[in-house]
A and B are shown apart, each in its own frame.
Chain A
Amino acid sequence: MTTKTLIKVIWYALLALLILLMLAPIAWMISTSFKPETEIATIDVNWIPRNFTTENYERVFERFAILRWTLNSLIVSSAATALVLLLDSLAGYALARMHFAGRSVIFGIILSMLFVPMQITVVPLFLMFAEVDLTDTYLALVLPVGANVTGVFLMRQFFLNIPYELEDAARVDGASTLRIWWSVVLPLAKPALTAVAIVTFLSTWNSFFWPLIATRTDASRTLPVGIAQFMSLRPGQAQGAQAYGQAMAGAVIAALPPIIVFYMLQRYFIEGISMTGIKG
């Protein structure tokens, strides 16, 4: 009885410590973002700002196109997700349910690209898009996402496991293959489509390396690339404090929407991630 209680007390103490360690940095980010410059550069820890101000946010909106970056990120991530769902469910269906010459060779070549790091494609991609003058456009950010491998793999795996009878029934009714894919197979594939959609949207939303290279102006700059600019506000230690208030305000603006969406949809998030993590 007493050891059991003791274990429980220790467990809850550790739980509290864990929650604190994981969430305190985020709380501190929010707290700093509402402080004036003078209150930031001190060794006094005020979790609640003593001189509450929204000045940092006003400055951020004034000096940076942060809303434009967010809009760019939304457009690019949505377009990339739609593209991936369309291409991968078509290709995955063919690879899983149809017989044709070269199927395993094609699938093998697609899968082999899993081992090729995307960094190797970045220099050629940049030169290709520069050649046709399409760097710094949405197209340059969206199209390479359409070439992803995990989505095709996941869709194929899913299609392998749906029963043939449903397709056969539709075929007897005279439906075309495209029609069967659209109105029989896709509705069944909702779990896989959801997982692929979430993972594609998230990875595009968070993608940094390629957008950093491909974008030049606010017209196409995505949120992660924009946020990185806040650190260039930090020329030396002396000016640091002034910059951190604005940097934290920018970080809060970028961080809150995903956190809120995550708290609302956390089950789908975690399912999507464990599904692709294990199988990809």
Chain B
Amino acid sequence: MALLEVKDLHTSFFTDAGEVKAVNGVNFNLDHGKVLGIVGESGSGKSVTAYSIMQILAPTGKIVSGSIKLDGQELVGAGEQVMRNVRGNKVSIIFQDPMTSLNPTLTIGHQLMEAILLHTDRTREQAEARAIEMLSLVNVNEPAKRMKQYPHEFSGGMRQRVMIAMALACEPDILIADEPTTALDVTIQAQILELMQKLQREMGMAIIMITHDLGVVAQMCDEIVVMYAGSYCERGTADEIFYNPRHEYTRGLLRSIPTLGSMGQKLHPITGTPIDLLNLPEGCPFAPRCEKAMKICIKHPAESMDINEFHKASCWLNVKDLYEKQQSASVVSAQEGGEA
């Protein structure tokens, strides 16, 4: 059984201007000890998906339908009591901006110990020992001294390390990392990613990595979910997504990023502008920007289709290919029948 099963998740925000369908039918499974990447642009619903799992949505946000099962336990509609146990103990989250996630008026040690005391029945001394242990685990030098310092005495990279230490202090099964390195510099980003990989190997938790950076995904993830405008485009193993993309959006995305070999050449951008989530069209949300859009794409959203064992995609082009294959097969078999 998968550790986390998300089925047909729909989350909306009910604003003054109307219903914003931020997540529109997302499906994925996460196994123990795996790294899942959720990739998408701003407004694709990748963060909202994560917040829906934790049920830490803004007051206007609501899970409209769908199911989120953690270890077989249904979380949608489970109530605040259950969720409090889930948050921190079973699922932890780190955010993009380590600056705003730490309270500036409390010492790092205080905040770390608070997190530990809240979720376990350790004594203060044990919690302190654990906090120091966690800080050295995330490669913070002189952890005992650092415990007494305040967040402003830490650099951005160091703060993100503290956030990771805090998130992992209770050994959660799943760590959700929401753009953990976007605010950091390249060399610091490399340090943090390396650290996350090391911790993942040592502690064996599963990671959900939410990012817009395909480079980060390529380095970190076993499996990838690609999202666009709240809908999921495709999911599969990293190799499948990068080397055998079966959704026009993924293809476009991979074509549009500069690579080491693209110097002096024209890039191949996706045309058009992102869609307005308040006016989602009936069909595939990517159709207005899709070069290969067909009449059906405008009328109906594509259903998810198995490409192979490791790969699902929801794009009408795959259906078209399949139909054409079937037809030519039936033509061939008809011809063969005729010859015989």
> Are chains A and B native binding partners rather than an unrelated pairing?
no
Q: Which residues of B contact A (CB under 8 A)?
A: none
